[in-house]
């Protein structure tokens, strides 16, 4: 769950970061490495986060708090990161701007310098020209006019000079001669500087003549543009004087500080070159230079216009502002160009070198416009922040979701626990309630029992009978509901014990025999010879299924028959092809039935069996039984087929009114069959009948699988059967199916059976047969068909001369009909055996007729009280109870049934008494006893028995010493006042065989005891 | 014979009253049914056994409840015994008090237990008296030559 969302978060992180990196690489260049490092750290952290989460996931609250902190850290971290990105990008932009500005500024400075140098070179060239043509020649080749014209025409060479003038060096001694030669006096300049005048009212004549000096430097030539300076003594001007003095001593071009030009009043500088008499070598002293000086050539530079012109030549002049300063005096820079805008924005300074080492000039450049908003930086950082916040939100939502899911999960667990508790409570409730109902019901039934024994008139008897029947129905209903509850809660567990299938079916048959006789429905059971005598499984539950199915059949069948068949699955598969003949007539009672083979069509066992048939046959330890209950009842309507196995569903409401029942039986049966790893199915044709078939898997109860056939004949548990060993019986029946059933039952007694279909065939058979026929069993249907033949047959039989005449029996369906019939054939009254045929009952009837001494006890069909007497008579029974009174009462009750009772008042005594060999047939054990309770005592006894059995088996103890019994297992029944399920289950778990409620109830006692004795 | 009939009627009436007042229940009837020629004094034997047993148990209970630290498991075991024996002879009222007694035991409610002990003693003495009276009437009846009506 965690990985699922951590992975997307990480990949998202990665994606964002890589995206950022992509956008950044261009801008950041060398910062890639740092990004990578940072990313590594992040991923490391996220790994740690996961690690921590897994550590803390156990304690939810800690994890939650931790997540919150992490979330805040995440958001803060990303905010810082995006701010940093913003600053970084902004810095980059500014840096770039600065670079641009610097390059532009430098470019301008360089150009300005170049232009200046060009002009300066030209002026220097002119100084050479003057020294050559003015001083070198006598008379001079240059006069004012020539100079003016020349300078005018070469002005283009000096684009930034507004004018050129030449001043000659005149010593005071030469002044008068000079003034005379020139025709004007040398005028002073400083007054003009102090009172600048406009060009218009400039009057050279008005100027004062220069005062007496050591030497003078009057201007003799001047370009026309500045012709007004002719005759002015430049040495008298403050700036000019300094300039001139420096120029002549250095021999290089020298610049003045910027000043307002005379007349034009514009800012300008004057470049001054000294003109020497002779060519001077480069290493002459300044003094020698001064001596050699002839004059001074000056050029006026109009800086303002110069820069302006220059800037106009360049592109993008609008984008920057240029200022030029003279910074010879650092504290007071003199602005030479540009408006003095005080802007603290970006500024670049380039130094200008105009060839004068003393003067320093600087160019300051600024952008005209303010820097634009750094949109890229803003959008990038905001984008990153937004993404980080989104990721944070996803993170938050996920954590919340996880917390919620966890909460839900815990809630569900809680609910589940509660539901389970409720389920347990439900079963507990059902168990308790049913127990609580059963207890008073037992009282009611007991009372009714007793009431029946008192003297009652017919009506009263009827009422009591009805009440008792209803009570019993109620108890059975409660048991069913309890069963259903147990099955639903999965608490039903099957027992695994040895049992005799045939005996169980006889038992069930006896249950229904009364009803079937009453209804005139023929009831029959057939068990295949292949089915082993003893099986291991849960006989109680098996009986319950059969009883349910037969009960249903009995309810819905008014005529015809109910026929139970038990086969091995393998047998049925083998016979599927053989039994293809139409079964419509070949049935027990002649009524058509639903084809039972269709009822198992859907069984998985069969489809599986088809392929693995040999395999399942070889594993002979597992017995696959298939049981069919076939009836000729009303059948189930087609539309109800689907809900036959649904609990509490009956075909219709009218059914439950007419037939009663809860409709729970089949559902329980289905569950039970499922528990026996079998399947249940049915086929039903309305008006014809239904056939229910189920399979069940049992374990073979015979130790040697090959033995069972011989056991079937020889080793009957019923002692009566030995009497019929070797006898021959003749069954007269025209219906093969019914004859098969009769044969099955008689064969179980050990007799040999032959079947003929007609009375007329009997005599020839008897006389012609080699063996002696001891008895003839005639189906009532045949007997009644023609009374004449019957009578004749009787006579013939009576006159039969070969030895003892065989006994004649009539197999009758119901008592009533056979009685009337018996009355008519008075001559040789055949003995009547009422169906359904049961081995024990058959044996008893035959014994009576054949004069065989009746040793056995008729077990079935008798009143329980009487049966109990028979069951318990002479049995030695141990009762264990710590309560003397209880002990006495229980002993009294059992003694009443003729049992030989021994009492023990503690579990320990019971153990010592039940140490094999002993004579006890059964033990009734109280559950709750001090010191050692019933369960523990039973466990000890079972343990003891087990070890002794083992020793006997291994030959360590002789069987003779243990009364020839090699398998000791004394039936132990729990006695308990509360019959709740838990007690029952525990009693089975510790090796008890059953339980009886205290105080004893005759029916229950009989049911439990009959299973063992 | 009048005396016999009178005694018989007295016996029947007395028995009926015992059932109606709830001293005895159906179990006592069953007990009586268990008595036959082979075992003529069965009921008396059982009931006197019950008396002996009960007196022992009541003593032990009283002793157990006097202790400073009460062993409720022991008390419960005694009451269980008492309940078992009383239900076996059908002494219904004693049995019912025993059930309540066991509940208090489970709750470890000393006061309730003591109260129940008194009650159980009372019920026991009552049923003892009644049964003794019953047996006395029966004895008289038999001495008078009559048979006990069933």
Query: Would you call A999 and B88 a contact, using CB atoms and an 8 Å cutoff?
Result: yes
Q: Report the alpha-carbon distance of residue A973 to residue A875 in Å, rounded.
A: 15
In Å, how far are A104, A363, B14 from A336, measured between CA atoms? 19, 10, 149
Q: Is residue B146 part of a domain?
A: no
Report whether A770 contacts A779 (CB < 8 A).
no
> Distance between CA A773 and CA A751 in Å, rounded?
10
Residue A907 has pLDDT above 80, yes or no: yes
**Beta strand A361-367 pairing with A522-527:** unpaired
Apex CA A781: angle with CA A779 and CA A785, to 5°?
A: 125
Report pLDDT for A410.
94
Could you give the C-alpha distances from A694 to A492, A562, A566, A677, A679, in angstroms and in order?
19, 16, 10, 10, 5
Distance of alpha carbon A680 from alpha carbon A233, whole angstroms: 145
The answer as to whether B148 is a domain residue is no
B150 in any annotated domain: no
B43 and B32 in contact (C-beta within 8 Å)?
Answer: yes
Q: Does residue B96 lie within any of the structural domains?
A: yes
Q: pLDDT tens digit string along A465-493? A: 888 888 887 887 777 777 777 776 666 77
As a whole number, mean pLDDT of residues B36-45 equals 80
Burial, A457: exposed, middle or buried (Cβ in 10 Å; 0-12, 13-18, 19+)?
exposed
Q: Report chain B's terminal Cα–Cα distance, integer Å.
A: 18
Please state the ipTM of this predicted complex. 0.80
Q: Name the residue with tokens 């001007």.
A: A237
In this complex, is the C-beta atom of A440 within 8 Å of any C-beta atom belonging to chain B?
no
Average pLDDT over residues A143-158: 84
Helices (H), A786-922: 787-798, 815-824, 839-850, 864-872, 884-896, 907-913
Mean of pLDDT values over A771-776: 74
Which residues in chain A have their CB less than 8 angstroms from residue B149's CB? none
DSSP run (H or E) holding A922: strand A922-926
* CA distances (Å), origin B140, targets A497, B2, B12: 55, 13, 14
Q: pLDDT tens digits, residue range A432-443? A: 777 677 777 877
The answer to whether residue B147 is domain-embedded is no
Please name the residues between 80 and 139 in chain B that touch chain A, using a CB distance below 8 Å.
Answer: 80-81, 84-89
Q: A434 preceded by cis ω (within 30°)?
A: no
- Taking 3-state DSSP, the helix, strand and coil percentages for chain B, each rounded to the nearest 5, stand at 80, 0, 20
Top mean-pLDDT range of A24-38, A541-555, A614-628: A541-555
Look at the alpha carbons of A451, B131, B35, A994 in this order and tell me if their dihedral is positive or negative. Answer: positive
B144 touches chain A (CB under 8 A): no
Q: Is A807 touching B (CB cutoff 8 A)?
A: no
pLDDT greater than 50 at residue B5: yes
Contact B88 A443 (CB under 8 A): no
DSSP A318: T
Residues of chain B contacting residue A893, judged by C-beta atoms under 8 Å apart: 30, 34
- Contact between A273 and A251 under an 8 Å Cβ cutoff? The reply is no
* Residues contacting residue A567 through CB under 8 Å, at least 6 positions apart: A528, A530, A531, A625, A626, A627
Whether the CB of B42 is below 8 Å from some CB of chain A: the reply is yes
Residue from A444, A454, A888 to probe the interface with B (highest B Cβ count within 10 Å): A888
φ, ψ at B20 (rounded to 5°): -70, -40
> What is the Cα–Cα distance from A818 to A799, expressed in whole angstroms?
24
Exposed (0-12), middle (13-18) or buried (19+): which is A707, by Cβ within 10 Å? middle
- Residues A689-719: pLDDT tens digits? 888 899 888 888 765 544 444 444 443 344 4
CA A470: distance to chain centroid? 53
Question: Is this prediction's pTM over 0.90?
Answer: no
Would you call the peptide bond into A917 cis, given omega within 30 degrees of 0 as the criterion?
Answer: yes
From chain A, pick out residues whose CB is under 8 angstroms from the CB of B42.
892
Q: Does residue B117 lie within any of the structural domains?
A: yes
Looking at beta carbons, which residues of chain B come within 8 Å of A998? 84, 87-88
Q: What is the largest CA-CA distance in chain A?
A: 212
For residue B149, being part of any structural domain is answered with no
Total of domains in chain B: 1
Q: Does A426 touch chain B (CB under 8 A)?
A: no
Q: Which distant-in-sequence residues (6+ apart) come within 8 Å of B149 by Cβ? A: B8, B11, B12
Between A and B, how many residue pairs show a Cβ–Cβ distance under 8 A? Answer: 61
Residue A209 phi, psi dihedral angles, 5° rounding: -70, 150
**Res A416: pLDDT:** 93
User: What pLDDT is stored for residue A405 in this prediction?
Assistant: 93
Q: Which residues of B touch A881 (CB under 8 A)?
A: 84
Residues A310-367: tens digit of each pLDDT:
777 776 666 777 888 888 777 777 777 777 666 666 788 888 877 777 788 888 888 8
- pLDDT at residue A522 is higher than 80: yes
pLDDT value, residue A195: 54
| Residue A221 burial (C-beta neighbours within 10 Å; 0-12, 13-18, 19+) | buried
* CB contacts, 8 Å: B49 with chain A: 884-885, 888
Residues from chain B contacting residue A892 (CB–CB below 8 Å): 31, 34-35, 39, 42, 46
Which residues does residue B73 pair with via DSSP β-bridges, in sequence order?
Answer: none
> Residue length, chain A?
1013
- Pseudo-torsion of CA A732, A735, A738, A739, nearest 10°? 40
Is A848 an interface residue toward B (CB < 8 Å)? no
CA distance A882 to A66: 65
Q: What is the mean pLDDT of residues A926-948?
A: 84
* Domain interval for residue B67: 3-140
CB-based contact, B6 to chain A, within 8 Å: no
The CATH code of the domain that includes B74 is 1.20.120.160
Residue B22 lies in a domain: yes
Q: Do B80 and A892 touch (CB under 8 A)?
A: no
- The set of residues, in sequence order, having a beta carbon less than 8 Å from that of A239 and lying 6+ positions away, is A256, A257, A259, A270
Write out the two tokens for A496: 């695994």
Yes or no, beta carbons of A999 and B87 under 8 Å apart: yes
């Amino acid at each position: 769950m965690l990985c699922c969302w951590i992975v997307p978060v990480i990949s998202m992180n990665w994606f964002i970061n890589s995206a950022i990196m992509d956008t950044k690489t261009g801008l950041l260049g060398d910062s890639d490495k740092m990004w990578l490092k940072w990313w590594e750290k992040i991923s490391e952290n996220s790994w740690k986060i996961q690690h921590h989460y897994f550590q803390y996931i156990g304690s939810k609250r800690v994890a939650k708090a931790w997540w919150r902190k992490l979330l805040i850290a995440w958001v803060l971290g990303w905010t810082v990161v995006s701010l940093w990105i913003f600053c970084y990008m902004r810095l980059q932009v500014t840096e770039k701007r600065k670079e641009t500005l610097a390059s532009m500024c430098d470019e301008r400075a360089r150009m300005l310098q170049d232009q200046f140098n060009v002009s300066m070179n030209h002026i220097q060239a002119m100084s050479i020209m003057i020294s050559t043509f003015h001083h070198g020649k006598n008379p001079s080749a240059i006069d004012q006019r020539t100079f003016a014209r020349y300078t005018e025409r070469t002005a283009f060479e000096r684009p930034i000079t507004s004018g050129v003038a030449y001043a000659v060096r005149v010593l005071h001694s030469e002044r008068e001669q000079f003034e005379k030669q020139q025709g004007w006096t040398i005028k002073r300049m400083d007054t003009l500087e102090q009172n600048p005048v406009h060009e218009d009212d400039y009057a050279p004549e008005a100027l004062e003549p220069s005062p007496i000096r050591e030497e003078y430097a009057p201007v003799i030539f001047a370009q026309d543009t500045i012709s007004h300076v002719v005759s002015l003594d430049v040495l008298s001007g403050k700036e000019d004087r300094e300039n001139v003095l420096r120029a002549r001593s250095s021999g290089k071009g020298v610049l003045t500080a910027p000043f307002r030009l005379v007349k034009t009043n514009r800012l300008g500088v004057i470049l001054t070159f000294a003109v020497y008499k002779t060519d001077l070598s480069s290493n002459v002293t300044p003094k020698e230079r001064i001596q050699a000086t002839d004059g001074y050539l000056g050029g006026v530079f109009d800086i303002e216009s110069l820069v302006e012109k220059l800037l106009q030549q360049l592109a993008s002049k609008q984008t920057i502002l240029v200022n030029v300063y003279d910074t010879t005096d650092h504290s007071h820079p003199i602005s030479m160009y540009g408006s003095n805008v005080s802007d603290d924005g970006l500024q670049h300074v380039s130094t200008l070198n105009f060839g004068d080492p003393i003067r320093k000039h600087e160019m300051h450049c600024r952008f005209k416009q303010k820097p634009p908003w750094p949109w890229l930086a803003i959008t990038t950082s905001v984008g990153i922040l937004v993404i980080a916040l989104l990721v944070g939100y996803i993170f938050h939502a996920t954590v919340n979701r996880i917390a919620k899911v966890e909460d839900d999960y815990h809630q569900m667990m809680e609910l589940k626990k509660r539901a389970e508790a409720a389920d347990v409570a439900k079963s507990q409730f059902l168990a308790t309630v049913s127990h609580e109902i059963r207890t008073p019901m037992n009282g009611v039934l007991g009372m009714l029992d007793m009431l029946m024994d008192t003297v009652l008139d017919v009506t009263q008897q009827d009422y009591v009978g009805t009440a008792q029947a209803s009570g019993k129905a109620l108890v059975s209903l409660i048991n069913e509901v309890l069963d259903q509850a147990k099955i639903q809660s999965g608490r039903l567990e099957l027992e695994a014990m040895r049992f005799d299938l045939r005996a169980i079916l006889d038992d069930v048959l006896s249950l229904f025999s009364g009803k079937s006789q009453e209804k005139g429905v023929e009831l029959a059971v057939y068990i295949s010879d292949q089915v082993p005598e003893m099986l291991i499984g849960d006989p109680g539950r098996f009986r319950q299924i059969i009883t349910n199915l037969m009960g249903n059949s009995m309810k819905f069948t008014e005529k015809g028959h109910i026929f139970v068949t038990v086969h091995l699955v393998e047998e049925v598969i083998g016979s599927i092809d053989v039994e293809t003949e139409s079964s419509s007539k070949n049935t027990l009672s002649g009524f058509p039935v639903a084809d039972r083979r269709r009822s198992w069509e859907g069984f998985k066992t069969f489809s599986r069996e088809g392929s693995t048939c040999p395999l399942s046959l070889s594993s002979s330890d597992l017995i696959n039984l298939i049981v069919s209950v076939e009836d000729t009842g009303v059948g189930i309507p087609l539309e109800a087929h689907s809900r036959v196995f649904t609990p509490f569903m009956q075909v219709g409401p009218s059914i439950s009114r007419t037939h009663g029942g809860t409709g729970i039986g089949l559902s329980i049966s289905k569950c039970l069959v499922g528990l026996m790893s079998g399947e249940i199915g049915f086929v039903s044709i309305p008006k014809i009948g239904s056939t229910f078939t189920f399979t069940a898997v049992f374990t073979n109860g015979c130790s040697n699988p090959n033995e069972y056939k011989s056991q079937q004949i020889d080793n009957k548990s019923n002692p009566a059967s030995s009497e019929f060993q070797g006898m021959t019986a003749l069954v007269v029946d025209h219906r093969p199916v019914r004859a098969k059933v009769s044969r099955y039952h008689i064969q179980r007694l050990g007799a040999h059976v032959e079947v003929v279909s007609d009375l007329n065939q009997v005599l020839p058979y008897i006389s012609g047969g080699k063996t002696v026929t001891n008895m003839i069993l005639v189906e009532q249907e045949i007997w009644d068909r023609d009374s004449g033949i019957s009578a004749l047959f009787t006579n013939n039989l009576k006159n039969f001369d070969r030895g003892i005449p065989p006994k004649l029996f009539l197999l009758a369906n119901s008592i009533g009909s056979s009685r009337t019939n018996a009355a008519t054939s008075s001559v040789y009254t055949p003995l009547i055996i009422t169906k359904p045929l049961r081995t024990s009952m058959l044996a008893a009837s035959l014994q009576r007729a054949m004069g065989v001494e009746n040793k056995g006890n008729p077990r079935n069909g008798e009143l329980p009280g009487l049966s109990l007497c028979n069951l318990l008579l002479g049995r030695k029974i141990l009762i264990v109870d710590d309560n003397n009174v209880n002990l006495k009462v229980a002993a009294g009750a059992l003694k009443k049934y003729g049992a030989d009772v021994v009492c023990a008042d503690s579990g320990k005594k019971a153990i010592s008494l039940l140490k094999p060999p002993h004579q006890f047939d059964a033990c009734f054990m109280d559950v709750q006893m001090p010191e050692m309770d019933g369960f523990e005592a039973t466990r000890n006894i079972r343990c003891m028995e087990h070890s002794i059995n083992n020793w006997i088996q291994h030959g360590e103890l002789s069987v003779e010493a243990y009364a020839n019994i090699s398998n000791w297992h004394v039936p132990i029944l729990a006695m308990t006042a509360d019959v709740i399920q838990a007690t029952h289950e525990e009693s089975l778990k510790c090796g008890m065989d059953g339980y009886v409620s205290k105080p004893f109830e005759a029916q229950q006692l009989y049911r439990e005891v009959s299973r063992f004795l | 014979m009048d005396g016999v009939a009178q005694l018989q009627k007295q016996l029947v009436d007395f028995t009926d009253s015992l059932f109606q007042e709830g001293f005895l229940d159906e179990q006592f009837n069953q007990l009586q049914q268990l008595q036959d020629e082979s075992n003529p004094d069965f009921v008396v034997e059982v009931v006197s056994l019950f008396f002996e047993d009960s007196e022992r148990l009541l003593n032990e209970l009283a002793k157990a409840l006097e202790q400073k630290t009460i062993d409720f498991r022991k008390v419960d075991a005694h009451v269980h015994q008492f309940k078992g024996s009383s239900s076996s002879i059908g002494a219904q009222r004693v049995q019912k008090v025993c059930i309540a007694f066991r509940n208090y035991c489970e709750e470890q409610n000393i006061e309730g237990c003591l109260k129940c002990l008194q009650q159980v003693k009372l019920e026991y003495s009552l049923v003892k008296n009644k049964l003794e009276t019953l047996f006395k009437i029966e004895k008289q009846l038999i001495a008078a030559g009559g048979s006990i009506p069933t």
